[in-house]
């Protein structure tokens, strides 16, 4: 949260009487709903496996309304989705979304980008391959990229 404070216009405050708010809880896994849902919305950060800088930033970005980078509307120009390597019950995670992308470039280094073997049917099999250069690194969870930060600030300019 302090990174959001130093790099973006977002200010997290302790909830007092707000009707709509996030509640950070130690549930089963790392997850968040997308954007404001109304009322209480849980951001789950399991204490064994989710409490890392990059993962916290990833989940809080979901709460702010950001999708996974590899689902953005123009992703087919930048990555190839290897459907044959994806578990069918997990395929929905790779469906394209109708995103406007805020005039920002596709960002392989986004903290919101999946790694290349996410939801693979077999360890090591690639589900996402960057194109045209398949060696480009994806899936980092160190922290927000400059473009991740730019998008938050661009979003807030609208308010
Ligand atoms: Zn996610």
Q: CATH number of the domain that 57 lies in? A: 3.40.390.10
Angle, to 10 degrees, between the axis of helix 53-64 and the axis of helix 146-157? Answer: 30
Domain with 117 in it: 1-157
Indicate the pLDDT class of residue 157, thresholds 50, 70 and 90.
Answer: confident
Q: Which residues are catalytic?
A: 59
Does the pLDDT value for residue 159 go beyond 80? no
C-alpha 33 – ligand 1 centre gap (Å): 9
> Would the annotation count 62 as a binding residue?
yes
Helix (H, G, I), strand (E, B) or coil at 35: coil
Helix (H, G, I), strand (E, B) or coil at 115: coil
Please say whether the dihedral angle defined by the alpha carbons of residues 136, 118, 143 and 96, taken in this order, is positive or negative.
Answer: positive
Rounded CA separation 147/41 (Å): 26
The residue-averaged pLDDT of 88-99 equals 95
Q: How many domains, in total, are found in the chain?
A: 1
Rounded CA separation 112/99 (Å): 14
Average pLDDT, the chain: 96
Q: Minimum mean pLDDT among 35-44, 53-62, 97-106, 150-159: which range? A: 150-159
C-alpha 117 – ligand 1 centre gap (Å): 14
- Residue 31 phi, psi dihedral angles, 5° rounding: -160, 160
- For the chain, what percent of residues have pLDDT higher than 90? 97
Q: Give the residues across from 44 on adjacent strands.
A: 25, 31
C-alpha 63 – ligand 1 centre gap (Å): 10
Does the pLDDT value for residue 156 go beyond 90? no
Read off the pLDDT of residues 19-60 as tens digits, 9 standing for 90 and up.
999 999 999 999 999 999 999 999 999 999 999 999 999 999
The residue-averaged pLDDT of 103-114 equals 98
Question: If residue 61 lies in a helix (H) or strand (E), which one and from where to where?
Answer: helix 53-64
pTM: 0.95
Query: Pseudo-torsion of CA 126, 107, 76, 60, nearest 10°?
Result: 80
> Would the annotation count 113 as a binding residue?
no
C-alpha 109 – ligand 1 centre gap (Å): 14
**What pLDDT is attached to residue 158?**
75
């Amino acid at each position: 949260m302090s990174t959001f404070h130093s790099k973006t216009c977002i200010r997290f405050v302790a909830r007092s009487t707000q009707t709509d708010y996030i509640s950070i809880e130690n549930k089963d896994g790392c997850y968040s709903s997308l954007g404001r849902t109304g009322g209480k919305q849980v951001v789950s950060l399991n204490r064994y496996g989710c409490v890392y800088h990059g993962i916290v930033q990833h989940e809080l970005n979901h709460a702010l309304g950001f999708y996974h980078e590899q689902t953005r509307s123009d992703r087919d120009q930048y990555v190839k989705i290897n459907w044959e390597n994806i578990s069918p019950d997990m395929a929905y995670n790779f469906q394209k979304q109708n995103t406007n992308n805020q005039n920002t470039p596709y960002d392989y280094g986004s903290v919101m980008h999946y790694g290349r073997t996410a939801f693979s049917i077999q360890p090591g099999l690639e589900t996402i391959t960057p194109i045209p250069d398949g060696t480009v690194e994806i899936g980092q969870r160190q922290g927000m990229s400059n473009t991740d930060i730019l998008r938050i600030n661009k979003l807030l300019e609208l308010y």
